[in-house]
Amino acid sequence: MYKKSFKFLSLAAFILVCFFTLILSFNVKGIENTYKAPKNKPIEIKGNKAKSTNVKILGNTYSNKEKNNEIVDSINNKNLKPENYKLKKIVGNYEKKYTNVYKVVVHIGSQTVDVYNNNDLIKTMICSTGIDSASTPTGTFVTGNKGTSFFSDKYGEGGYYWTSFWGNYLFHSVPFDKDKNIIQGEVAKLGEKASHGCVRLSIENAKWIYNNIPRNTKVYVGT
């Protein structure tokens, strides 16, 4: 009889130990629950904290790490489609537009200068090119630096409103002396060869080229 009682007590003790062990396990690890999540509403969990920061629910998965496939793919640019852009020719920060295209033609034979805008003749000027011993170079050139006046100690002369078309070869006014007085004898030579290689013009015409013809304008010098 005592043996039966001892077996009964041992079995009861074993059941109690298992029961308390199960209770303690639930208190320590927490219970992972499954919920039906309402759309667009946050879920609040009360009680013991779950081991993971993710809560398994039926429907959408909410995670504070935000590592769902859609976000990861967006970060890796997998869902981004390339756009095609047409490039425009830019000068500085602005689109280059050619509204006025000038060219200057010097005729040594007739001692005249023609100015064209978009191939339309807009101005003809009488000039003086270089004398035979210091002739004006022929060919195709482009305008460069400009200035309001210069003076040459070598020749004792200067000029107003100069525009370079090749190095020291310039468009400029009829010459003035060291006192900046226009040399009237040189004014009278307009229409014939008289310079040291430059193209002389009246003060008015030299100023017009200075004000209106931009850098890099083509200049054609021929017979």
Q: What is the CATH number of the domain that holds 147?
A: 2.40.440.10
Same domain, 64 and 110: no
Report yes or no on 59 lying in a domain: yes
pLDDT, tens only, 118-148: 999 999 999 999 999 999 999 999 999 999 9
Per-residue confidence band for 9, with pLDDT thresholds at 50, 70 and 90: low
Report yes or no on 69 lying in a domain: yes
Q: Hey, CA dihedral for 168, 173, 178, 180, is it positive or negative?
A: negative
Q: Token pair of 135, please?
A: 């002739």
Instruction: Give CA separation, 85 vs 82, 88, 90, 151, 163, in Å.
Output: 10, 10, 15, 53, 41
Pairwise CA distance, residues 146 & 142, whole Å: 12
Pairwise CA distance, residues 124 & 188, whole Å: 18
Q: Who contacts 207 (Cβ-Cβ below 8 Å, separation ≥6)?
A: 160, 161, 173
Report yes or no on 151 lying in a domain: yes
Same domain, 123 and 183: yes
Q: Who contacts 172 (Cβ-Cβ below 8 Å, separation ≥6)?
A: 150, 159, 160, 161, 162, 163, 198, 199, 200, 201, 206
Report yes or no on 86 lying in a domain: no
Report yes or no on 182 lying in a domain: yes
196 is catalytic: no
18 is catalytic: no
CA nearest neighbour of 137 among 200, 221, 193, 194: 221
Scanning the chain, the segments in alpha helix (DSSP H) are 2-29, 69-75, 184-187, 203-212
Instruction: Work out the percent of the chain whose per-residue pLDDT is above 90.
Output: 55
Report yes or no on 114 lying in a domain: yes
Same domain, 166 and 56: no
Report yes or no on 6 lying in a domain: no
pLDDT, tens only, 32-51: 444 555 555 555 555 555 44
Which one of the listed residues 18, 107, 127, 198 is annotated catalytic? 198
Q: Domain containing 66: what range? A: 16-75
Question: Residue 52 has what pLDDT?
Answer: 47
SS3 content of the chain, % helix, strand, coil (to 5): 25, 30, 45
Task: Give the global pTM.
Answer: 0.57
Which one of the listed residues 18, 127, 172, 196 is annotated catalytic? 172
Q: Token pair of 138, please?
A: 């022929």
Total number of domains in the chain: 2
Same domain, 59 and 117: no
pLDDT, tens only, 198-211: 999 999 999 999 99
